[in-house]
Structure 1
Amino acid sequence: MKAIRTIRKPIRTAIAVLAVAAVPAGAVAIPAIAGGTATASTTAASTATSCSTKWGSLPKASSPLGRGTLTGIRTGRHACFDRIVFDVSGKQSGSHVRYVSNVYQDGSGFRVPLRGGAKLEIIAHVPDYNDAGRSTYRPANRKELTNVAGYRTFRQVAYAGSFEGQTTIGLGVRARLPFRVFTVAGPGSGSRIVVDVAHTW
């Protein structure tokens, strides 16, 4: 009987090791949007089915007109999607997001070159200037608003202008993939427009 007890312990240990190894390395939970920081981190483990989406790739729009101004654009990587966030210094604002053949600059009509197999036109219903005409969002490089090197889905984020109370951004993505759009209140009196593009269907 003593020999049997000695054998059982290694067997239980081996089973536990195999159970841990069976958890997918990329299966991680998605954290909440941070108030003023890029949301590129991941946290505790979850199931691989968390990456299933039913967002679709058809145009998505919401109607509220913005009462603030655009103050920043940032991106982040997540386990199941890439995210772009528009920071707004005012109440929740509407947007219009759709896949297009090309994105064109507001006013001039010039085509905005974008890397990737598909292009998303993101129109935020807020300007990037205040009532006095002063810029509230001034990117250092309009062709590369954020660095998306190494992202699974995003390929390029480019500025397409701000005209008549709305701001247009061109988002180059790897392929025509599902996406969702929503708004978040805060921090403080501000708000955010969020666009997530899935890594896969």
Structure 2
Amino acid sequence: MNRTRFLVLACSVLTALGVVTPAAAGASPYCGITWGSQAKTADAGDRERLYDVRAGRHACFDRLVVDVGGEDTTFGSYSVRYVPVVLQDGSGEPVPVRGAADLEVFVRAPAYDEEGRPTFQPADPQELVDVSGYTTFRQVAWAGSFEGASTLALGVRARLPFRVFSVAGTPDSDDTPRLVIDVAHRW
């Protein structure tokens, strides 16, 4: 009996101090999101080329899509993680982006073909995609393509949960594989 009273009192004190909130104590996660904010990586060993980058807004998250293609209809070689600052490929120069947190999006897909011709050339490397008005995204910037890979800097409002997955393309069509990065609007 004393133990139960102690636990109730301890929970009440922690809630009053803001250490534990009633929502954290047992409510469902925001929009059912359970992604977390740790790095997501995959190495399928495949090599594709980067063709486009685009973004979209959804009810519970903002979405970044990287269109790739070349060898086959699948893609799965990437690393997406929060970093203090994204560094430019080759030079190591910082690529600052707006927002309180920086996501480094590294894809094993160069933005050039086997002859060195560009497959993707951003018109404005600092504003790769217009994300004005988005809930979570603040800026998408180009960090370069070097030694068979490309890097993007994704500035977000805060360090929020995210997920990464690839979508297969359709054989013999313009529907290429793509890498999808969803960042939740909140925890």
Q: Secondary structure at the match of 1:139?
A: coil
The corresponding residue for 1:191 is 177
The corresponding residue for 2:131 is 148
User: 1:1-201 counterparts in 2 under 5 A?
Assistant: 51-90=31-70, 91-188=74-171, 190-201=176-187
Summarize deviations over 1:121-149 as a string: whole Å, max 9, x none: 00011111000000000110000001000
Q: How far did 1:52 drift?
A: 2.2
Q: How far did 1:156 drift?
A: 0.2
In the aligned structure 2, how far is the partner of 1:93 from the partner of 1:58? Answer: 18
Whose RCO is larger (CA < 8 A, sep 6+)? 2
Question: What one-letter code is carried by the residue in structure 1 that aligns with 2:155?
Answer: G
Question: What one-letter code is carried by the residue in structure 1 that aligns with 2:60?
Answer: C
Alpha-carbon contact 1:101-1:119 (below 8 Å) kept: yes
The structure-2 alpha-carbon separation of the partners of 1:59 and 1:167, relative to structure 1 and needing over 3 Å to count, comes to same
- TM-score, reference length from structure 1: 0.73
- TM-score, reference length from structure 2: 0.79
The structure-2 alpha-carbon separation of the partners of 1:136 and 1:194, relative to structure 1 and needing over 3 Å to count, comes to same
Q: Secondary structure at the match of 2:62?
A: strand
RMSD across aligned C-alpha pairs, in angstroms?
1.5
The corresponding residue for 2:24 is none
In the aligned structure 1, how far is the partner of 2:41 from the partner of 2:29? Answer: 27
Residue segments in structure 2 that go unaligned for 5+ positions in a row: 1-27
Question: What one-letter code is carried by the residue in structure 2 that aligns with 1:176?
Answer: R
Equivalent residues, number: 154
